[in-house]
């Protein structure tokens, strides 16, 4: 172990930034970029668009919308059980890999009695048929409740309950559903339209098996966030380390891995030939969206955000605020403010900025304001309000 090459924290930072297209904006297709960076966090509809804007040269939001509408880019629940936008081909690999996370969550949820296997199979098939075209979550729940009542099951009203229990709660987590784009800013509403993946994604060969999917997941992870520990990969995906080790062994046997260590002596793995630029490589200022994956990709996040700043960036409820990077590390937050329909970006630095750095950030902020203004001039406004209430101790 001691003879393995050491990668400094500064070099880990530059490696991650390079993989994430944050050292230099790329000129690749938005779908290819989404795959290369390990998927785009998508809890907020705006976030995938802003994540791509900060990574790609001259991004047109219409190109991202078109990718969703043409079903080349897919929004669905994946890593960490949260919403991500990924290439359609990646979804077919990643969804089976994430099945153990969903199953584990179900077993711990305590959301009422689990339907028996026969009922699950019957209602799962019914849900797939009902979701062959996009429908609201509530519509699918109500249709399933009607079907359940007509079938005379022991708990005929279960699917109608709104307390998070009932048959629909269980079925939804066993049915591969994706979010259908609509005519809305950023292509999606916060109350989603859901559609069965098999109906939405046709002619792409179907789902991988879980084993192959997990290998693909780990390969994507290392390509986007390496060098990293296996604990980092587990933190990013929320899959147990024990589930990732066979995939790691597969990549090792295929000769795809290189072994390194960090300054603390921890074992790192990476893909052979992956970008690892010198730690002195310049890193320009960048503005990141809420929940940007670069902030969530590691168990040890010291390569990108100082421990002292984490509480400013991540709220107690898990909200990860929009940030900006200076020299490759989180140096503050940004907020969009709408004034008579026009947008300006307010910077909230954690410490004093050099004059040149401030000017570079302001240029980025002006460009971002122009990007978001036609779609949502005060993007993330409600999160700023909730953050301010927490800071001041007021109740809103």
- Quote the CA–CA distance of 181 and 178 in Å, as a whole number: 10
Which residue do the tokens 């993007």 mark? 379
Tokens of 164: 């998070």
Decide: residue 15, CB within 10 A, 0-12 exposed, 13-18 middle, 19+ buried: buried
At 103 the pLDDT is 62
Q: E strand or H helix at 196, and its extent? A: strand 193-196
The arrangement of strands across the sheet holding 6-7 comes to 6-7, 257-262, 267-271
Full-model pTM: 0.91
pLDDT along the chain (396 residues), means of 10: 86 98 97 98 97 97 98 96 95 94 57 67 84 91 80 45 55 86 94 93 86 98 98 96 97 98 96 96 98 96 94 92 98 96 95 97 98 97 83 47
Q: In what order do the strands lie in the sheet with 329-339?
A: 286-288, 323-326, 329-339, 342-349
User: For position 2, what pLDDT does the model report?
Assistant: 60
Q: For residue 396, what pLDDT is reported? A: 34
What's the N-to-C CA distance of the chain in angstroms? 54
Beta bridge partners of 344: 337
**In sequence order, what DSSP letters do the residues of 189-249 get, joined into one string?**
-SS-EEEEHHHHS-SS--PPPHHHHHHHHHHHHHHHH-SB-HHHHHHHH---HHHHHHHHH
Neighbours of 349 (CB within 10 A): 15
Neighbours of 376 (CB within 10 A): 19
Report how far residue 4's alpha carbon sits from residue 381's, in angstroms, rounded to the nearest whole number: 47
Structure tokens at 267: 């074992």
- Residues 160, 142: Cα–Cα separation, whole Å: 6
DSSP H/E element including 261: strand 257-262
CA distance 297 to 293: 6
C-alpha 203, offset from chain centre: 25
pLDDT at 391 (0 to 100): 65
Q: Given strand 73-77, what is the order of strands in its sheet?
A: 40-41, 83-87, 73-77, 177-179, 193-196, 135-136
Listed by start position, the domains of the chain span 1-112+176-291, 305-392
Say which residues have a Cβ less than 8 Å from residue 27's Cβ, sequence separation at least 6: 56, 57
Q: How far apart are CA 232 and CA 234, in angstroms?
A: 5
Q: According to the model, what pLDDT value does residue 158 have?
A: 43
CA distances from 150 to 16, 61, 120, 165, 231 (A): 54, 46, 16, 19, 48
Structural tokens at position 300: 């040890």
- Looking from the CA of 253 toward its CB, the CA atoms found within 13 Å total 7
Q: How many CA atoms lie within 13 A of 231 on its CB side?
A: 6
- Reference 266, options 71, 33, 76, 9; nearest CA is 9
Please say whether the beta carbons of 343 and 367 come within 8 A.
no
């Amino acid at each position: 172990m001691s003879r393995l090459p050491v990668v400094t924290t500064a070099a880990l930072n530059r490696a991650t930034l390079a993989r994430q297209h944050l050292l230099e904006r790329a000129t690749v297709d938005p779908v290819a970029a989404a795959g290369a960076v390990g998927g785009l966090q998508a809890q907020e509809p705006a976030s995938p668009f802003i994540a791509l804007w900060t990574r790609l040269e001259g991004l047109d939001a219409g190109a991202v919308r078109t990718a969703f509408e043409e079903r080349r880019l897919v929004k669905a629940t994946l890593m960490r059980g949260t919403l991500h936008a990924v290439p359609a081909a990646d979804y077919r690999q990643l969804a089976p890999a994430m099945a153990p996370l969903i199953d584990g969550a179900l077993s711990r949820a305590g959301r009422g009695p689990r339907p028996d296997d026969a009922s699950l199979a019957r209602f799962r098939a019914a849900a797939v048929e009902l979701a062959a075209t996009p429908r609201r979550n509530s519509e699918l729940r109500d249709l399933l409740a009607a079907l359940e009542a007509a079938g005379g099951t022991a708990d005929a009203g279960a699917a109608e309950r709104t307390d998070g229990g009932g048959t629909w709660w269980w079925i939804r987590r066993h049915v591969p559903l994706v979010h259908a784009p609509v005519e809305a800013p950023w292509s999606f509403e916060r109350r989603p339209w859901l559609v069965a993946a098999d109906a939405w994604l046709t002619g792409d060969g179907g789902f991988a098996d879980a084993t192959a999917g997990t290998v693909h997941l780990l390969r994507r992870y290392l390509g986007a966030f390496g060098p990293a520990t296996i604990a980092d990969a587990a933190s990013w995906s929320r899959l147990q380390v024990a589930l990732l080790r066979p995939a790691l062994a597969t990549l090792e046997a295929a000769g795809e891995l290189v072994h390194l260590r960090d300054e603390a002596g921890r074992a790192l793995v990476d893909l052979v030939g992956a970008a690892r630029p010198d730690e002195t490589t310049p890193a320009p200022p960048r503005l990141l969206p809420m929940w940007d994956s670069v902030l969530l990709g590691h168990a040890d996040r010291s390569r990108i955000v100082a421990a002292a700043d984490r509480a400013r960036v991540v709220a107690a409820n898990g909200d990860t605020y929009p940030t900006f990077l200076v020299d490759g590390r989180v140096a503050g937050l940004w907020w969009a403010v709408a004034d008579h329909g026009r947008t300006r970006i307010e910077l909230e630095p954690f410490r004093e900025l050099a004059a040149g750095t401030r000017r570079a950030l302001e240029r980025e902020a002006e460009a971002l304001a122009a990007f978001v203004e036609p779609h949502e001039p005060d993007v993330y406004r409600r999160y700023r309000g909730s953050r301010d209430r927490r800071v001041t101790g007021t109740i809103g």
